[in-house]
Amino acid sequence: MRKRKDIITSTGVTVHQKPLKLRIWNNRGYYLMFLPVFIFVIIMNYWPMLGVRYAFYDYKPVGEPSWVGLAHFTKMFSTTAFWVAFRNTLELSIMRLLISTFASVVVSVFLNEMGNLMAKKVLQTIIYLPHFMSWAVVASIFSLLLSPSSTGMVNGWLKDLGILARDQAGIYFLADTKLWRPIFYIINTWKETGWGTIIFLATLSGINPELYEAADIDGASRMQKIRYVTLPALNNTIITVLILNLAKVMNMFEPIFVLYNNAVYSVSDVIATYIYRQTFAIALPNYGYSTATGLFRSLVGGALVLICNQISKKTRGRGII
């Protein structure tokens, strides 16, 4: 019989460790429960990674793949449309993150200051509801509201207010390069602000009430208590949320895909939609080029995660990975 291995802990206590096979057998129930999850992760997350090799092949629906080395990357870096999509990805994602975080903080502070509990719960429910709507439904709703036809509610209001003449054509908001981004930020804020407030409200609920009592004794007004007690308590959470979400800026697809169109590619096209069009929107797609673009996006996303991890260590004292 194999002897047990003795381990000395940091406190000087000797622990007798059983052999690995015996430990696995004793905990076989846990391993059996974990096995389906492990198989699923391998098949759905790691097995497809073998397709990364096609980034270095000329791979089309017709014919055998042929090795081209770095040709796809050379083509990608020399394509104007790719750099437009890359720039739009960073600009849209970062601005979306900053605006959503700011709106979530403002709404959470407002809800925290409400004294009527029933009104607070009703308002929270109303604000949370848009998050549970799919982006396809949200896009359909706002496409109807912003339609340039007679059925468009916003254009109807503009005509009723005299801003647009009755016989004047309506404004096509979602096809205007100057208006598309502000509208996208408004739609995203409407949809996601409520969900973002959950984290900040949880932080606010943990603030020591004695801090507010001390502020009352000092004669602080409500705005002063928000400025000197509430917001400082949120600082660490705000930084954490920004860092965690900054690592996901390259993954934006669905919100853009359901709202953009040919007229606004210059301000709305992102890398994910660019890959989609290169794969599904042309007659003879080159899967090798699409794979190369996706690989580059993944590498940039991985670099952002590492950068965010270092920022987290500097600001919070610990990393996110």
Has residue 166 got a pLDDT over 80? no
Tell me what pLDDT residue 1 has.
45
Predicted confidence (pLDDT) per residue in 252-264, tens digit = 899 999 999 888 9
Looking at the domain 79-316, which fold is it?
MetI-like fold (1.10.3720)
Hey, is 11 helix, strand or coil?
A: coil
Tell me what pLDDT residue 321 has.
62
Distance CA 307, CA 189 (A): 26
Which 8-state DSSP code applies to residue 48?
G
Distance CA 229, CA 209 (A): 10
Question: What residue ranges do the domains of the chain occupy?
Answer: 5-44, 79-316
Predicted confidence (pLDDT) per residue in 201-232, tens digit = 888 888 888 888 888 888 888 888 888 888 88
Predicted confidence (pLDDT) per residue in 2-59, tens digit = 555 666 655 666 666 677 888 888 888 899 999 999 999 999 988 988 889 989 999 8
Has residue 117 got a pLDDT over 90? no
Has residue 111 got a pLDDT over 60? yes
What region, left, alpha or beta, does residue 104 occupy, with left being phi > 0 and alpha being psi -120 to 50 degrees?
alpha
Q: What are phi and psi of 213, to 5 degrees?
A: -65, -40
Give the mean model confidence (pLDDT) for residues 115-134. 87
